[in-house]
Amino acid sequence: MVNVRRQPRISWEALLLSLPALLFVVAMFILPFLFGLNLSLHTGLKAEGELTLSNYLQFFNDPTQSDAIGITFQVALPVTLFSIVISIPLAYYMRRGIRFERFITTLLILPLTLGNVMVAQSMLMYYGRQGWFNQALQAIGLIKQPLALVHNWIGVEIALFIQNFPFVFLMILGYMSGINPDLERASRMLGASAWRTFWRVIWPLILPGVAIAFCLNFVANFTVFPSAVLVGRPDDLTKVLSIVAFRAAYEQNNPAYGTAIAFTMGIIEFLVVITVLWLRNRMARASVLGAGKGA
């Protein structure tokens, strides 16, 4: 018998029902994206100049501006990696449930409801030189001089960790809790240690979740703005790309230049995400081949 492939049938009812959502996405995301791209490729307040790459060339040719790329990586990458490293063992410990799990989960979710500005303002009160944290350390004799934990790089790292760690942890915990416990028991019955079971059984299964959590957390940290201003030093140590773009657009009254910087930030984020997903596929393939060879 001849196997005839059926052509996919268009559901006009489903298409009609999704039309309002499609129009909303076009109006709120696609059109602003195209408008910003067009603005970045022209000069003038209303993109009335000729089509040009001068805004991008101006940014990369100005060391006082382009150094923000390295500064942004120095801010975003360490706290992203730290959040992932802390989340994995904690999620592994809590994957089967522990006492007071709901209470602990509530504490972890609470920072997500506060917002960036409230977290930063609270840090100024708690981690400042005259804050409660330094006063407590001085009272018990651990330090003589207050620690500088705000208005520097460390302050921004602490703020980003408080804001984004719960999201990373809950995502990895969701992936790890979904692993069938029979797989772990089978690995242990075959003589594998707990460490080997983690790397050969659990790690390949949670790798997609870890990669996605890294990408989402990195993008959130890479676009930091309020924390870099309130608890950092936006003129040097925490002069991230978002601050440079804001100043170019609104302080220097050059929206086209500021938009070009913002698009540069987006391109860098896109390249990092693509790289992480590519590495995830390579690592997943290597894990499967290693398991197949009995490694």
Residue-wise pLDDT for 48-102, tens only, equals 778 889 999 999 999 988 899 999 999 999 999 999 999 999 998 888 777 877 8
Tens-digit pLDDT profile for residues 14-23: 778 888 899 9
Residue 224, domain member (yes or no): yes
Q: Is 95 exposed, middle or buried (0-12, 13-18, 19+ CB in 10 A)?
A: buried
What residue has token string 């773009």? 245
Q: Is the pLDDT of residue 2 over 70?
A: no
Residue 54, domain member (yes or no): no
Tens-digit pLDDT profile for residues 273-286: 999 999 988 887 76
Tens-digit pLDDT profile for residues 133-176: 999 999 998 888 899 999 999 999 999 999 999 999 989 998 88
Residue 188: closest CA among 202, 204, 208:
202
Name the domain count of the chain: 1
Residue 38, domain member (yes or no): no
pLDDT attached to residue 275: 96
* Amino acid at position 101, single letter: E
Tell me, what CATH number does 244's domain have?
1.10.3720.10
Residue 21, domain member (yes or no): no
- For the chain, give the percent of residues with pLDDT over 70: 93
Q: Is 181 exposed, middle or buried (0-12, 13-18, 19+ CB in 10 A)?
A: exposed
Residue 124, domain member (yes or no): yes
Residue 46, domain member (yes or no): no
**What's the pTM?**
0.86
Residue 34, domain member (yes or no): no
pLDDT attached to residue 295: 43
Tens-digit pLDDT profile for residues 106-133: 887 787 788 888 888 899 999 998 889 9
Question: Any residues with CB less than 8 A from the CB of 7 and at least 6 apart, and which?
Answer: none
Give the domain range for residue 235: 62-292
Residue 55, domain member (yes or no): no
